Amino acid sequence: MKINLRKALTVAKINFTHLTPAYIITTFMLLIGVYNIIACLTGLTDNQYVDMGNYLYMLVVTAPIFITSRNYKKIMCLNGTRMDFYWGALINYIIISSFVSLLNIMLYKVADIMFGPRLIIWNLVEIFGWYNHGIIIAFLQQFSFLILVAIFVHSLSIIQGSWYGWLTDILLIAIISTFIPINTLRNLLLIFLNIIIFQSNAYMQITSCLILTVGIYVLNLLVLKKRRYD
């Protein structure tokens, strides 16, 4: 499963050039973000708004969906190999996660400086408690979480249409619908979320996210072997 860096980068480039739906959706969301700021500043809403940067998360969620559902097939059709696709997609997610993480923090910082005292700015970086650890750690924490999300969505998307895809869907729905109401199970869920997001120990958060990412992506190899593209 060696990586052919040049080919992987080519695949990544192809993916970036062919993610128009993802870009459109994200831009649309960003416009909502802009509207939020304007509405807030002009007094339409009370003194708080959801920061624009949060909407960039949409890119992290939509990109894997389109990469797996549309681009995979087309890259295979051009005699691309599955391993090139595997590593190429990973490069895509690393770049997207870094970009979104960086941008989100920068937007928050700028907003903080500009409107800090006057308004309350809702940004996940703050809510998740990452901002407290300084910009660099915050960037790494957000990056780790985002790439976990990307790989998770990628994996979920790529197994759709097969029996294990259905099984996973049902399992996830079952977990969400049953774990939340039942107390003890909800606590389990909260512990899990604690580890990967709200963790006060930044290094543990980063490590747990990255380990999960690697684990899920390794499992992807099994799926990729079987996944047809026609």
Partner 1 sequence: MISLEEVTKSYGHTKALDKITVELNDNKIYCLLGCNGAGKTTLLKLIAGHINATSGNVKIDDNTINTLKMPCCVHFIENRAAHFNIKIESIVKMASELNDEFDYEFAENMIEKFHLDKNKKYKTLSFGMQAMLNTLLNLASNKKVVLLDEPVLGLDAIMRGRFYDLLNDSYENHPRIIIVSTHLIDEIAKGAEELLILDKGKIIHRSSIDEIDEMAYSITGTTKEIEPILDSLNVIGRKTIGGHTSAFIYDDRSRIPIGFTGHPIGLQEFFINMVEGDSDEN
67 binds partner 1 (CB under 8 A): no
Residue whose C-alpha is closest to residue 198's, from 186, 209, 184: 209
Tokens linked to 209: 């996210």
207 binds partner 1 (CB under 8 A): no
Told to check if 162 binds partner 1 by CB under 8 A, we report no
Residue 73 within binding range of partner 1, rule CB under 8 A: yes
Residue 14 is a binding residue for partner 1 (CB under 8 A): yes
Q: Yes or no: say if 51 and 122 are a contact pair by the CB < 8 Å rule.
A: yes
Range list of β-strands (E), 81-186 = 120-122
Stretch of residues binding partner 1 (CB under 8 A), selected from 29-37, 67-75, 92-100, 187-195: 67-75
What proportions of the chain, in percent to the nearest 5, are helix, strand and coil? 80, 5, 20
Q: Which of 40, 52, 67, 75 binds partner 1 (CB under 8 A)?
A: 75
120-122/48-50 β-pairing = parallel
Q: Is 82 in the site for partner 1 (CB under 8 A)?
A: yes
CA dihedral 154, 137, 95, 210 (to 10 degrees): -30
Piece of 46-54, 78-86, 166-174, 186-194 that binds partner 1 (CB under 8 A):
78-86
Please compute Rg for the chain using Cα positions: 19
**Residues listed for the chain:** 230
Q: How far apart are CA 58 and CA 150, in angstroms?
A: 10
Site for partner 1 in 83-122 (CB under 8 A): 83-84
Q: Is 184 in the site for partner 1 (CB under 8 A)?
A: no
Give yes or no for residue 149 binding partner 1 (CB under 8 A): no
Which of the ranges 46-54, 81-89, 187-195, 203-211 carries the binding residues for partner 1, by CB under 8 A? 81-89
The only residue of 69, 81, 160, 168 in contact with partner 1, by rule CB under 8 A: 81
Q: Where along the sequence are the contacts to partner 1 (CB under 8 A)? A: 1, 6-7, 10-11, 13-14, 18, 73-84, 221, 224-226, 228-229
